[in-house]
């Protein structure tokens, strides 16, 4: 029931006592190893060629991108940019392909203070997805 304290139980297995509550705490800690500190999200949506601001700069703050997913509607090259500095080279993507940058403890991309996080598209195609980030 909601609000009940979990019961700690033990079982005997080949002479070893197993504490189920402690085991669950360890499993939870292992599952959280990849969890990021991101608390913001932004939609990725463009249909034109050029630079697209995914996360707008805020005065004096850095942007840390912890996870991202997107799909493209046709062949295009994508470049991730920190303000005016490329974070990646042009990455060729074929029609209907996807890009997944899974959530992790350290950011995939970090933008300098006062810099936008930008995705540049080489062609006027649909690019859609979502980005999860921290701005501080």
In this structure, is residue 111 part of a structural domain?
yes
H helix or E strand, kind and range, residue 69? strand 63-72
In this structure, is residue 73 part of a structural domain?
yes
Q: Is 3 helix (H, G, I), strand (E, B) or coil?
A: coil
CA distance 112 to 93: 27
| CATH code (residue 115) | 2.60.120
Q: Which two tokens stand for residue 108?
A: 């995939």
Whole domain around residue 53: which residue ranges?
40-135
* Segment 104-120, tens digit of pLDDT: 889 999 999 999 999 99
**Domain count within the chain:** 1
* Segment 11-69, tens digit of pLDDT: 444 444 445 555 565 555 544 444 455 679 999 999 999 999 999 999 999 999 999 99
Contact status, residue 109 vs residue 65, Cβ threshold 8 Å: yes
């Amino acid at each position: 029931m909601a609000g009940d304290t979990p019961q700690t139980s033990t079982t005997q297995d080949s002479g070893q006592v197993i504490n189920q509550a402690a085991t669950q705490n360890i499993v939870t800690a292992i599952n959280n190893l990849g969890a990021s500190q991101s608390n913001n999200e932004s939609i990725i949506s463009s249909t034109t060629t050029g630079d697209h601001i995914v996360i707008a700069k805020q005065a004096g703050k850095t942007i840390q991108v912890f996870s991202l997913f997107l799909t493209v509607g046709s062949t295009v090259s994508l470049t991730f940019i920190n303000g005016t500095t490329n974070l990646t080279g042009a990455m060729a993507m074929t029609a209907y392909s996807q890009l997944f940058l899974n959530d992790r403890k350290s950011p995939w991309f970090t933008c300098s203070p006062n810099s936008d996080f930008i995705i540049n598209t080489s062609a006027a195609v649909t690019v859609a997805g979502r980005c999860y980030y921290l701005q501080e």
